């Protein structure tokens, strides 16, 4: 067991070079890891952040799987797909991949997230649960030889039941042997003994023999002990880290990153959605925005659009959020100026348009000032926005308003009063992105089924991702499919 203080001191900024962090160690002999050795080597701030964000993407999907009542098998399939994209982790036998780099990223991401998630009991609980599920999925899919080697390298606090004891309880233990027709089955079965309270799920299902507070676990149920040990150790490590966190807090540069990560769990993964003009928003003109909004926009942007049409005006943050959203959607600078000029016509700000707002629009396209090409705001940023943010969050405490906004925006696409309780219950759980994802599913019934999210089980994490997927699905539906259905 490592010391918390020691552990946190290992992530320090290099004085010589402020772009790298000094991190040591990192055990990478096996694909599976109990994360009992904090990594100690130099990483860039970018590496620090991306390793954590990519892992968080997976964990947030696992969490929303639970919120959406996916089965373990569905969660597993979804996680395997997502891990393939963002966090590949190959076995020792894999060729043509940099196994060490994969494992380094896996370790680093885990330990960075520990720092972000150790800060409250609630975050710790959720982190342990999601990490536990990820571990379980990897354990189940691991190469059996490598898994055995990994297991024998660790101490799981189990006691092997020796021959004498096995004989003493033969009558009872033989009940738990899987194949009763094989006369040697009992002889060949190995049993382990652990305190019953460490494996409550096996006890509950009477899958183990109980004696004197110990559960006698047949070899094939070994995995349950390992999952329990993984979660128990992680919980203890997080608690230790949380006590030592003031030490890390001095590293002020990391704090905003850590804060952001912790919030990412509720918001889904903060991602910058880079819309590719070729596939989705090709040639979008100012005139098209009205109909696009009705068919493809998430509630946040629907609400902004409706307000703009109603008021012929929009305050700073609304312009910022909506403007960037439209830019990434594919509205060119000229079309954007045309769109905004038309929208403001007859409103209170019409006369200021050319003087002030035009500049701002050009600025947001990177054509003025610092010439930055600003990305559109993601769900996480919209959650924390005070104005023009995520309506699921901002209207959480006035459910009637939220419900009527949902109905007026989406009833044309098939959302009914009957869908509201489910959406509202996610809102009450503060799972805003789950609520939004569910609305997407309901309004695209021909293309996605419940639980599919935006496809492949992905949840909404960015308004542009929502809109782009919606447009993409519509295009697919219109184009005749070439492949044969099976």
Partner 1 sequence: MTPSSDKEDVDPTSEQVLLTFYRRLYPFKQLFKWLNRGPERTEKELRLFPYREFAYTLRNQAYLRYNSYPSDIEMKKHVCLLTPSRFEIGPVYSAQPKDKKTVRSTHFKAEKREVVFDIDMTDYDPIRTCCSEADICKRCWGFIAVAVQVLDKAIRDQFGYNQLLWVYSGRRGIHLWISDKEAFELTDDQRKAMVEYLTVVKNGKEPGKQVNSRFASKDLPPTLKEACQTINESFDELILQDQNCFGSKEGYETLLSLIPDAKVVSRLREKWSDNPGSPSYIKWDEMKDEIKTLEQPARRVMRNAMEDILLQYAYPRLDAEVSKHRNHLLKAPFCIHPKTGRICVPVDPRHVAEFDPAKVPTIGQLLAELDAAGSSNSGREHRDDWQKTSLKPYIDMFDQYANSVQEKQTKMDLSW
Provide the binding-site residues for partner 1, judged by CB under 8 A.
Answer: 120-122, 171-172, 175, 195-197, 200-201, 203-204, 206, 209-214
Q: Tell me which residue of 114, 359, 330, 122 sits closest to 242, measured CA to CA.
A: 114
Tell me the closest approach of the beta carbon of residue 320 to partner 1, in angstroms.
34
Q: Alpha-carbon torsion 83, 84, 85, 90, what sign?
A: positive
Residue 21 or 202: the one with the smaller Cβ distance to partner 1 is 202
**What minimum distance in Å lies between the beta carbon of 235 and partner 1?**
11
Q: Is the dihedral of CA 465, 468, 474, 477 positive or negative?
A: negative
- Nearest-approach distance from CB 424 to partner 1, in angstroms: 22
Min dist CB 191 to partner 1, Å, is: 13
Whole-number Å distance between alpha carbons of 155 and 427: 42
Q: How far is the CB of 175 from partner 1 (least distance, A)?
A: 5
Q: What is the layout of strands, in order, in the sheet containing 214-218?
A: 159-160, 191-195, 214-218, 209-211
| 96 vs 212 by CB, closer to partner 1 | 212
- Shortest reach from residue 202's CB to partner 1, in Å: 8
Of 39, 34, 8, 7, which is closest to residue 23 (Cα–Cα)? 39
Is 300 annotated to bind ligand? yes
| Cβ-proximal residues to 475 (8 Å cutoff; 6+ apart), any chain | none
Contact 275, 464 (CB under 8 A): yes
Overall residue count recorded for the chain in this entry:
486
**Residue 333: in which H helix or E strand, if any?**
helix 333-344
Helix (H), strand (E) at residue 257: helix 255-267
Q: Which is nearer to partner 1, 89 or 177 (CB)?
A: 177
Judge contact between 158 and 230, C-beta under 8 A: no
Distance of closest approach, residue 291 Cβ to partner 1, in angstroms: 47
* Closest residue by Cα to residue 189 from 211, 158, 222: 222
Other Cβ atoms closer than 10 A to 416 = 10
Question: CA nearest 24: which of 108, 114, 109, 115?
Answer: 108
What is the C-alpha separation between 295 and 475, in angstroms, rounded?
12
DSSP 374-411: PPPP-HHHHHH-SSS--HHHHTTT-HHHHHHHHHHHHG
Give Cβ neighbours of residue 417 (< 8 Å, ≥ 6 apart): 407
Q: In terms of C-beta density within 10 A (0-12 exposed, 13-18 middle, 19 or more buried), how is residue 67 classed?
A: middle
The nearer residue to partner 1, 176 or 365, going by C-beta atoms, is 176
- Nearest approach in angstroms of CB 409 to partner 1 is 35
Q: Please list, in sequence order, all residues whose beta carbon lies within 8 angstroms of the beta carbon of residue 354, skipping any fewer than 6 positions away.
A: none
Distances (CA, A) of 382 to 81, 174, 436, 486: 27, 59, 13, 41
Nearer to partner 1, 87 or 130 (CB): 130
CB of 123 to partner 1, least distance (A): 12
Q: How far apart are CA 131 and CA 379, in angstroms?
A: 23
- Residue 379, marked binder: yes
Q: Which residues are annotated as a binding site for [4Fe-4S] cluster?
A: 300, 379, 390, 436
């Amino acid at each position: 067991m490592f010391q918390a203080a020691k552990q946190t001191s290992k992530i320090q900024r290099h004085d010589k070079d402020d772009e790298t962090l000094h991190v040591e160690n990192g055990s990478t002999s096996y694909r599976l890891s109990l994360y009992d050795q904090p990594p100690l080597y130099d990483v860039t701030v970018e590496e620090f952040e991306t390793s954590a964000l990519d892992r968080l993407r997976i964990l947030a999907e696992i969490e929303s799987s639970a919120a959406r009542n996916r089965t373990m098998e569905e969660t597993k399939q979804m996680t395997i797909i997502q891990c393939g994209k963002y966090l590949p982790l190959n076995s020792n036998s894999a060729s043509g991949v940099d196994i060490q780099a994969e494992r380094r990223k896996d370790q680093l991401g885990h330990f960075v997230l520990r720092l972000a998630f150790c800060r409250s009991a609630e975050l710790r609980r959720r982190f342990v649960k999601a990490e536990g599920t990820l571990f379980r999925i990897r354990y189940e899919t691991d190469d059996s030889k490598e898994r055995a080697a990994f297991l024998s390298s660790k101490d799981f606090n189990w006691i092997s039941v020796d021959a004498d004891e096995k004989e003493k309880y033969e009558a009872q233990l033989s009940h738990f042997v899987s194949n009763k027709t094989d006369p040697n089955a009992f002889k060949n079965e190995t049993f382990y003994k652990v305190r019953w309270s460490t494996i409550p799920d096996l006890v509950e299902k009477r899958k183990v023999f109980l004696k004197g507070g110990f559960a006698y676990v047949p070899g094939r149920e070994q995995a349950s002990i390992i999952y329990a040990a993984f979660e128990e150790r992680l919980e203890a490590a997080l608690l230790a880290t949380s006590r030592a966190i003031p030490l890390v807090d001095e590293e002020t540069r990391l704090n905003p990153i850590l804060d952001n990560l912790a919030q990412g769990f509720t918001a889904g993964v903060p991602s910058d959605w880079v819309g590719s003009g070729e596939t989705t928003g090709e040639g979008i003109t100012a005139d098209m925005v009205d109909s696009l909004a009705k068919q493809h926009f998430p509630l946040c942007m629907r609400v902004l659009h409706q307000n703009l049409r109603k008021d012929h005006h929009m305050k700073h943050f609304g312009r910022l959020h909506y403007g960037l959203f439209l830019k990434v959607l594919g509205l060119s600078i000229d079309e954007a100026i045309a769109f905004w000029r038309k929208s403001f016509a007859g409103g209170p700000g019409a006369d200021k348009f050319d003087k002030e707002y035009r500049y701002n629009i050009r600025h947001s396209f990177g054509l003025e000032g610092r010439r930055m090409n600003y990305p559109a705001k993601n769900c996480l940023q919209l959650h924390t926005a005070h104005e023009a943010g995520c309506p699921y969050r901002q209207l959480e405490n006035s459910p009637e308003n939220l419900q009527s906004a949902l109905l007026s925006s989406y009833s044309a696409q098939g959302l009914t009063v009957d869908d509201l309780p489910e959406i509202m219950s996610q809102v009450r759980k503060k799972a805003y992105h789950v609520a939004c994802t569910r609305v997407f599913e309901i309004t695209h019934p021909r293309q996605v089924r419940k639980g599919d999210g935006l496809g492949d089980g992905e949840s909404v994490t960015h308004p542009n991702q929502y809109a782009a997927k919606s447009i993409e699905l519509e295009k697919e539906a219109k184009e005749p499919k070439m492949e044969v259905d099976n």
